[in-house]
Structure 1
Amino acid sequence: MPNYKCPTVGDCDRANAREVFVRLPGEDLKCPECSTPLVSEIAGTKTGPNKKLVAAGVGAAVVVIIGAVSGGLYYKKSHSESPDAVVSAQATPASAVVAAAAPASAPPQSASVGISPPDADITAQRKDSDAKLSNGDASGAESASNQVAAKEMVKVAIAQMSQGKLDDAEKELSDAAARDPKQSLVYYNMAVLRLKQGRTDDAFKELEASFLNGFSYFDEMQKDPDLDAIRNDPRFTALIKKYRTTT
């Protein structure tokens, strides 16, 4: 037969005594002491707080947790294609702040040295060499090819001078002169090299050789700081007066 207890422990003597009431189906299910509805003692059923209320509370908590998780997933998804927004939503590490405040300094740039052959001239001579070779003019193609090679060597020598590699630059310019003995920029840049080596007399010889071989870059020469040390030298003034008026 079903057993029952009064749930009002503390307010009912029978509940305090844990008295068990046996009730048949249809009999009154109230405590004879305090008239409180009795609670069934069927196996597996425990007296205590209202289970419906507990279940409702647990359900509400689950809803809140799920809502929070789904909200987080939505935020992540909605911002997955916007890295800037994700970054802004996170705390910026101190190291990142320091890096942003102190950008790396740019590497030092090499100072411009001498006068470099125009790329357009090199391209034109290379095409001329190819055209002569296609037309069976092997000698003309070789000459044009040597002129291209000499100008490329001049560019290499200028880069070496800008790095302070004067010995390497001198060898490169000497090889360029062997390829194209009439290349004026070979001698001009050799004059710049001699000035860097402190060989002023030799620099004037190379400068005149450049003028004799058709040097035509006088405007660029006027801006070249490499010649500042000899601009007031009477020999420089005489060379400019002699060759600029005759070219």
Structure 2
Amino acid sequence: MAKYKCPNLGECDHANIGKIFEHAPGEELKCPGCNTLLTPVAAPDASGSGGKTPALIAAGAAVLVALAGGGYYLTRGSSKAPEAPPPASAPIAEQAPTAQPAIPPTPVTAPGIAPSESETKALRQESQDKLTSGDATSAEQASNKAAANEMLKLAIAKMAQGKLDEAEKDLLEARARDPKQSLVSYNLAILRLKQGRRDDALKEFEASFMAGFSYFDKMDQDHDLDAMRKDTRFNELVAQYRNRSGK
């Protein structure tokens, strides 16, 4: 009887163990395990090595079973859903350029000399005190002086803006309220210089000095007078009244 084996290694247990089937001519040559067509087994050679053939076949079959099994597990492993990719890292925000410290604008020096806020505040308080005590006349005088100081500040601000005509109106109104305020005449002198009226400016300077002007230290720092400092008449006038005031 001829010998046959199942060639379906890895899929059929009969093939994996190398089982030999004997069939007479004319019998059905299909594997009873997997229904695969059987293949004939070669007869052993005369050298006596035929005894080893079944063992080698069995060993080879075992290796194939192992490989097939590994492929099975690899196939099963590959059927798993792919792992989700790690979350994308948030984009790194671009660093904003370092802000450069703002350079403060160069302050513009206001023209002339303004009365201090403390002087104006004292005049307001004086007016209130005089009114409370029943001295209406003195209260009005103090109130007019305080108002003249406020007009002076307004006129200086307008001169700084180049509004010379408006500044002149405020200065003349301040003079009407307080004729003896030396800073009114001084700032009128500055205004006359800006108007190009140097002779009129000298008259206003003299009126200011005669009214008791005492701000010679501030006058020395007033750049509006730079054009006058080479004028002999101005220098003589300043020297005369500076010596009288002791400043």
Shorter-chain TM-score range:
0.5 to 0.7
Q: Deviation per CA, 1:32-58, whole angstroms, max 9, x where unpaired?
A: x98x8xxxxxxxxxxx6259x948x85
Q: Deviation per CA, 1:71-126, whole angstroms, max 9, x where unpaired?
A: x9xxxxxxxxxxxxxxxx7322xxx42x835x666445323311111122112111
Q: 1:189 to 1:119 in 2, by over 3 A?
A: same
Q: Deviation per CA, 1:161-213, whole angstroms, max 9, x where unpaired?
A: 12222112111111111111111000001001101111000001111111121
Residue 139 of structure 1 corresponds to which residue in structure 2?
Answer: 137
Q: 1:12 to 1:208 in 2, by over 3 A?
A: same
Partners of 1:110 and 1:163 within 8 A in 2: no
Q: How does 1:189-208 map to 2 (within 5 A)?
A: 189-208=187-206
Give the C-alpha shift of residue 242 in structure 1.
2.7
Count of residues in Structure 1 that have an aligned counterpart in Structure 2: 187
Partners of 1:191 and 1:202 within 8 A in 2: yes
Residue 181 of structure 1 corresponds to which residue in structure 2?
Answer: 179
Q: How does 1:56-205 map to 2 (within 5 A)?
A: 90-92=93-95, 96-97=96-97, 100=99, 106-107=104-105, 109-205=107-203
Amino acid at match of 2:94: A
Secondary structure at the aligned position of 2:108 is classed as coil
Residue 210 of structure 2 corresponds to which residue in structure 1?
Answer: 212
TM-score (ref. length: structure 1): 0.62
Secondary structure at the aligned position of 2:226 is classed as helix
Q: 1:223 to 1:108 in 2, by over 3 A?
A: closer
Percent identity for Structure 1 against Structure 2 = 50
Residue 233 of structure 1 corresponds to which residue in structure 2?
Answer: 231
Partners of 1:157 and 1:172 within 8 A in 2: yes
Structure 1 spans left out of the alignment, 5+ residues: 1-9, 21-32, 37-47, 73-88
Computed over aligned residues only, the root mean square deviation of the Cα atoms, in angstroms, reads 3.7
Give the C-alpha shift of residue 236 in structure 1.
1.2
Partners of 1:177 and 1:186 within 8 A in 2: yes
Q: Deviation per CA, 1:6-62, whole angstroms, max 9, x where unpaired?
A: xxxx953459xxx69xxxxxxxxxxxx98x8xxxxxxxxxxx6259x948x85xx59
Residue 245 of structure 1 corresponds to which residue in structure 2?
Answer: 243
Residue 52 of structure 2 corresponds to which residue in structure 1?
Answer: none
Q: How does 1:43-62 map to 2 (within 5 A)?
A: 49=76, 54=80
Matches of 1:144 and 1:241, distance apart in 2: 32
Q: 1:11 to 1:196 in 2, by over 3 A?
A: farther
Q: 1:131 to 1:49 in 2, by over 3 A?
A: same
